[in-house]
Structure 1
Amino acid sequence: MTTVPRPARPSRAAEAQEGVKDLIVRRGLVAGDPLPTESELMEELQVSRNSIREALKALQAVGIVDIRHGFGMFVGRMSLAGLVDELTFHSRITLQNGAHHLAHLVEIREILESGLVQRLIELGPGADLTPVGDVMARMESEAQAGLVSPETDRLFHDLLYRPLGNPLVSQLLGAFWDVYFQLRDALGTPDESAADVARRHRDIYSAVLKGDRAAAVAAVQAHFEGVRNRVARIEG
């Protein structure tokens, strides 16, 4: 007769992690709210100090808990830093592979932005794109000097979709950008000139202002063509 092994029981630290998360939900705490002290958590969850500390360390690593030495513990604010580190690492170790992760990330971001520009156009005149126009002018000024800074490029995309009122959009695009930026040395020099970079961003901005969905999507795809080509050089 075959004996079926029993599933391993979660460790006390793992149980403490779930206990802390459950406490946050039950008390209706939100990001930035203070958490009970270690001693209070030990008493409420009925676990040892070592288990609590191990649990809090694990929760801090994923951004659920924010430990500020000398001030206390707080509910953490959502961060994709862990995702960025993991994606960067796996992209780096597969850069010599024809199916490397970076190409997949670029594809996902292109699909995401193709949909976002259409949602932005749906807002109509209610979307204030004045800040985007200011960044666009800055980008064109930089292009005339021969180099569009990464900060300006990133800010354009961040401000463009801000009228959608979805904070996750900014965080996701920022995560994709961080991965790409950290791998920039492996990608080599861009194929596009600074003038081309500015022109492609201007095309996106102009299409959104006109409310032309087809033109906006086409402009986003054209913008990412340069990125795709840069990544494809590694695959070759």
Structure 2
Amino acid sequence: MAVTDEAIQRIKGMIVSGALRPGDRLPKESELAAELGLSRNSLREAVRALSLIRILDVRQGDGTYVTSLDPQLLLEALGFVVDFHRDDTALEFLAVRRILEPAATGMAASRISEAELDALERRLEALGDEASVEELAAADLEFHRTIVMSAGNAVLGALLDGLSGPTTRARVWRGLAQQDAVGRTLHEHRAILAALRDRDAEAARSWATAHVAGVERCLRTTTAALG
């Protein structure tokens, strides 16, 4: 194991064991290096690596702290990473989304508030039937984010939010490739919304599956044509 990797594992061990808790300040570099039996250079590299993935927060002139370890914070890097993948790899992310998002939508059926449903309906009406592809993509992203976050599972919400990078581009391509994309998307959104209003988890799951599958089919067709 590389020295830096070993240092990362030792700091991780302190967090997992509870020796360091969310919000705690790490001991001084010299003290922590001695405690863990590491060189200050390897410790410094480990801290830098853990700060990049939002485990640690380095505050200049103050010290280094364990972050809140909130799932949304820790999974932010996922969205950054997936944006660098190829179009064909985006299909794999969409496949994962097709598994997870219907489950989250079904969970939301019993948890989403009437106020949230009313807000979603107002946004759909404001979008109208003549929305541009860019407006449609942005509205679609916000529509699903609101529903997923209302499901009450922060980890699931963070995972799906991280998958939105490549799938947002897929929605744009869908709009460019299919003339009826706006009408179809609005129809599917309204069907999902109606199922949520009825507190019908099965119908909500089914419509969410059909919606994501449509985006996936479009991207698959586009990728094949470009290839």
Task: State the TM-score, normalizing by the size of structure 1.
Answer: 0.78
Assess, with a 3 A threshold, how the Cα gap between structure 1 residues 33 and 139 changes in structure 2: closer, same or farther: farther
CA distance in 2, matches of 1:13, 1:44: 16
Task: Give the superposition deviation at 1:166.
Answer: 1.0
Alignment of structure 1 residues 1-236 onto 2, 5 Å: 10-76=1-67, 77=69, 78-90=73-85, 92=86, 95=87, 100-121=88-109, 123=110, 127-147=112-132, 148-181=135-168, 189-191=176-178, 192-232=180-220, 233-236=222-225
Task: Quickly say closer, same or farther: Cα 1:11–1:196, change in 2 above 3 A.
Answer: closer
Distance 2:213 2:36 in 1: 54
**Greater gyration radius:** 1
8 Å CA contact 2:26–2:66 kept in 1: the answer is yes
Work out the CA distance in 2 between the residues paired with 1:182 and 1:28: 43
Distance 2:41 2:30 in 1: 11
Residue ranges of structure 1 left out of the alignment (5+ in a row): 1-9
Identity %: 29
Q: 1:89 & 1:189 partners in 2: Cα distance?
A: 22
For each residue in 1:87-123, what CA deviation from the matched residue of structure 2 results, as whole angstroms up to 9, or x when unmatched? 3323x2xx3xxxx2212221221221222233333x3
Amino acid at match of 2:224: E
Would you say the 8 A contact 2:83–2:166 is kept in 1?
yes
Tell whether the 8 Å contact from 2:5 to 2:46 is kept in structure 1 after alignment. yes
CA contact (8 A) 2:136 2:182 kept: no
Question: Quick one: structure 1 residues 140 and 196, their matched pair in 2 at CA, closer, same or farther if it must change by over 3 Å?
Answer: farther
Distance 2:27 2:102 in 1: 44
Asked whether the 8 Å contact 2:98–2:212 carries over to 1, the reply is yes
Partner of 1:4 in structure 2? none
Alignment coverage as a number of residue pairs: 217
Rate the CA distance shift 1:12–1:220 in 2: closer, same or farther, 3 A: closer
Unaligned runs of 5+ in 2: none
Within 2, Cα distance between the matches of 1:171 and 1:89?
A: 19
Q: Which moved more, 1:146-155 or 1:201-210?
A: 146-155
* TM-score (norm: length of structure 2): 0.80
Q: What is the Cα-based RMSD across aligned positions, in Å?
A: 2.7
